[in-house]
Amino acid sequence: MSENTEDRKALAAIDGEPLNEQIAYYRKPFMVLWAAIQEASSELAEDYGLSQDMAQLWVAERMRQVSDSLVDRLAEKAVAHGSSKSNVARAAGASPANAERRFPRLKDDGARTQERLLIDDVLDTLE
């Protein structure tokens, strides 16, 4: 059985699990993210006099944008390492038939120009 076939079966099995069991796999990372958003928003509120609710919204939205960019990068990486576009779409909760619509950078298998993603800018600040 190919790795893509095994991945497809595993993704189907995960998708068939109750939501609370699926959430258990990302509950801890979410709690870390939520704590980080609260901490960052406190600094933002202090520095700019922004209300705590608005500061949390601002930080969470930027995190969502960076996370979306990270998902795009991870999709490219998975395909580059041999995963099928269909399985990449499945893992991202999209229809396999819409893989290239969900991840436009997967079109043309490398013939595209590699524009930078937001995740690249964030990672550059860590160096």
pLDDT digit string (tens) for 54-109? 999 999 999 999 999 999 999 999 999 999 999 999 999 999 998 999 998 888 65
Lowest mean pLDDT among 14-23, 48-57, 106-115: 106-115
The residue among 43, 45, 41, 35 whose CA lies nearest residue 56 is 41
Number of domains in the chain: 1
- Assess whether pLDDT exceeds 90 at residue 119: no
Task: Identify the domain containing residue 85 by its residue range.
Answer: 3-125
Confidence of residue 111 (pLDDT cuts 50, 70, 90): very low
CA distance 92 to 67: 12
CB atoms within 10 A of CB 33: 14
Q: Which pTM does this prediction carry?
A: 0.81
More confident residue, 34 or 104: 34
Q: What is the mean pLDDT of the chain?
A: 91
DSSP label at residue 107: G
**What pLDDT sits at residue 126?**
80
More confident residue, 8 or 113: 8
